[in-house]
A and B are shown apart, each in its own frame.
Chain A
Amino acid sequence: MSEVLLDVSDLRVGFDVYGGTLKVLNGLNFYLEEGEKVGLVGETGCGKTTTAKTILRILPQPPARIAGGTILFQNKNILGMNSREIRAVHAHGISMIFQDPTASLNPVFTIGDQLMAAIKYSSLEDGLSRREIRGRALQSLRDVALPDPERILNNYPIQLSGGMRQRICIAMALATNSQLMIADEPTTSLDVTIQDQVLRLLGRLVLEKDTSTILITHSLGIVREWTQRVYVMYAGNMMETAPTEVLFRKPLHPYTQGLMKAVPKLTGEGIAKGIGGRIPNYLDPPPGCRFHPRCAHRMPICSQQRPPYFEAGQMHQVACFLYKEHS
């Protein structure tokens, strides 16, 4: 049993907008152990990026408002840290890969400038010479299988393709040797064959450096191939969590089942109807289970109480009253 590296507990985050507060995160609970590869699956608007940004404390407040909960990273609450401690966490503790590599790289600096800056500011040793930093930068570029690293150090982001830019972002995230890496849709903007390459590369590097990873995505296929454990998120809550293989063999939550059915299959069985309704209006979210208005199996209790996690097998938890008796 490894140590718990990250423990998010009852996290509540809202945004102040015209008309009131968007109550996005509604008491979010999840955790990550050292060395794990955990997937966070959810559709647009469910709050996954908000979660990532809250963990990193890069959410601008206002308009955001952290209304409650704790985020324990190595047993220290991130939400209670001052700016010096947060900077230390950014430097050595947690790194992040964003969805759009073009937006993550500064267009007016060379790759070398940015990569070496990342290495310099995150190294635990003082006084790394410029040559040493450059050496590490070149090595990290080789680690992500980029051809001709010397030339790339002098290139500007605009001279490189999307796949190469994303690999550089990965190199920057890994060069800091952080314990936890959060990858927010790292391959969504990439072509399928490059996506495959990048994910395999990421997998190998994460294994080598023993980095714990949270992979955030809306693609079930990627989660299935890449993670050990999965959380399914909807409207600011986790609906279901299980080891990956278990989740795909036997999805229990009606939302998870709906998602699995909606994915077009290579077996050619046609396209399912999708899930009726829309994501809730966060200004006035539905009471109880936030999925209940769209759920074919809803019961009266679903609109009254928010379901806690119920056990449904080994490490398989479902936040749904349908499974109350099982546990």
Chain B
Amino acid sequence: MGIAGNRAVLFDKIKRAWYKFSKNPLSIVGGAIVFVVVFLAVFAPFVAPYPQHAGSFVNFSEASQPPSLRYLCGTDAFGRDILSRIFFGFRLSLIMGVVVISLTAPAGVTLGLVAGYMKGSWVETIIMRITDIFVAVPPLVLALAVCSILQPNIFNAMMAVSLMWWPWYCRMVFGIASSIRNEFYVQAAEITGAGKMHIIFKEMLPNCFGPIFTKVSLDMGWVILIGSALSFVGLGAQPPTPDLGTMVADGGKYMPDQWWIAVFPAFAIMLVVFGFNILGDGIRDMLEVEDV
């Protein structure tokens, strides 16, 4: 069969995945939004009209300008172009999302799988009770508490969010894992003599991919939102770093006269979150195991 056969099979898989994904046109919209945001974030220094405004830059002669052809989203109280700062703000938001999820998803998923596989044992009890404790604390409160003890900066904000994020992955995967634990194919692997590692990661994990990746996409939106909330109260990124939440907070002072200072960053947050949410739906459709 060889390499040619493998490549053909891969193409077919991709085509099928696209067919399922694109059945709902909204998914494509979500994907497009996410793509644009990522592009803008990555290439911000090159596509932003005034990349230098992203740092400490002041130009009081152009301060508080309403949206115009020169400054598409207007300028803030320091004369900085809001559109460019939004592009750089995307960077921070995306980084936060990626970091938090890269930390919490693998940890939460692994714990959930182990707990599901060892359902009924003390291992499961310990894992799930610890999870229960973390879930019981209101997330924003926990993040605020952590941030106020430590220095307020974006790194600590990410740690705080991660701390209350992993239990949800653990719970979700535990639910799936414990229900497929006794399926015939898992028992067949056990009878054959496969080791615990293989069963957890090669037999059970692939059957959790759908909900996991859907949640990852939805979570990007949530983490960005919560990160913005933390910055809004001053516990995240510190000035002059361009951060969407901070921009909304600062702009609040100037409402309603210089509305553009707060509204455009807020709209940017909304757009990003919306994009990831819709994309999440599309991913869920794409990863569904169909019955022919």
Contacts and interface: CB of A to CB of B under 8 A. Distances in A.
Complex A–B touching at CB under 8 A: yes
Contacts of A18: 15-16, 19-20
Interface string A8-50: 0000000001100000000000000000000000000000000
B22 to A, nearest CB: 11
Contacts of B16: 18
Interface residues of A, number: 2
Contacts of A17: 292
Contacts of B292: 17
Interface in A239-297: none
Nearest to B15: A18
B8 to A, nearest CB: 15
A159 B36 CA distance: 55
A18 B19 CA distance: 7
A58 to B, nearest CB: 18
Interface in B1-51: 15-16, 19-20
Contacts of B20: 18
A18 B291 CA distance: 12
A18 B23 CA distance: 10
* Interface size of B as a range: under 10
A14 to B, nearest CB: 15
A272 B20 CA distance: 42
A203 to B, nearest CB: 33
A291 to B, nearest CB: 21
A201 to B, nearest CB: 33
A238 B20 CA distance: 34
A17 B292 CA distance: 9
Nearest to A62: B23
Nearest to A18: B19
Nearest to B19: A18
Contacts of B19: 18
A18 B15 CA distance: 9
Interface string A137-167: 0000000000000000000000000000000
Interface string B140-152: 0000000000000
A17 B19 CA distance: 9
A65 to B, nearest CB: 15
A241 to B, nearest CB: 29
Nearest to A17: B292
Interface in B262-292: 292
Nearest to A45: B292
A259 to B, nearest CB: 24
B121 to A, nearest CB: 27
A279 to B, nearest CB: 12
A17 B16 CA distance: 10
A17 B20 CA distance: 10
A257 B142 CA distance: 73
Nearest to A63: B23
B14 to A, nearest CB: 12
Nearest to B20: A18
A17 B15 CA distance: 13
A235 to B, nearest CB: 15
Nearest to A22: B292
A17 B23 CA distance: 11
Contacts of B15: 18
Nearest to B292: A17
A218 to B, nearest CB: 19
Interface in B63-85: none
Interface in A114-132: none
A18 B285 CA distance: 13
A106 B20 CA distance: 30
A18 B17 CA distance: 10
B179 to A, nearest CB: 16
A-B pairs with the 5 shortest C-beta distances? A18-B19, A18-B16, A18-B20, A17-B292, A18-B15
5 contacts: A17-B292, A18-B15, A18-B16, A18-B19, A18-B20
